Amino acid sequence: ITASNHPELLDRAVWRRFQLRIELKPPDIKQIECFIELFVKRTGMNFNYSPKSLSQKLSGYSFSEIEEFCTDVVRQAVLTNKQDDARNIVSLKLKQWQSKFGANNVKE
């Protein structure tokens, strides 16, 4: 079993070793919204962004990347004692991700 975010980097010899290939598309906005709602419920973190609004900003990312984003926000909020209102941290992380991944993915 293997997984890759960049299947185009694997050569044909590697692909021949797999009998079954499943392509997982990135989650849609509704799936991202549900994921964020569950994340907020599980962690008790107040992002001060609606899950719908945040899901639109994170459209195009995988669940793994979205979880990394949310976890980064929680970590920073705990370190700065801002668990009650992490809006500024979310905004900062969105800007950081925009510069890291490009304007194509993260929407401000």
Residue 45's domain is classified under what CATH number? 1.10.8
Residue 23 in this model has a pLDDT that exceeds 60: yes
In this prediction, residue 39 carries a pLDDT of: 96
* Domain-embedded: residue 11: no
What is the model's pLDDT at position 27? 95
Domain-embedded: residue 18: no
Task: Give domain status of residue 108, yes or no.
Answer: no
| Domain that includes residue 87, residue range | 26-101
Residue 78 lies in a domain: yes
Distance of CA 59 to the CA centre of its chain: 8
Indicate the angle between helix axes 29-43 and 63-79, nearest 10 degrees: 30
> How high is the pLDDT of residue 103?
55
Residue among 41, 38, 46 at smallest CA distance from 66: 38
Number of C-beta neighbours around residue 101 at 10 A:
13
Answer yes or no: is pLDDT of 40 > 90: yes
92 in any annotated domain: yes
Structure confidence at residue 57 (pLDDT): 93
Task: Establish if 107 belongs to a structural domain.
Answer: no
End-to-end CA distance of the chain: 36
Please identify which residue in the block is written with the tokens 């979310």.
90
Question: What residue has token string 């008790």?
Answer: 44
Query: How far is 92 from 108, CA to CA, in rounded Å?
Result: 10
When divided into structural domains, the chain yields a total of 1
What integer is the mean pLDDT of 64-72? Answer: 94
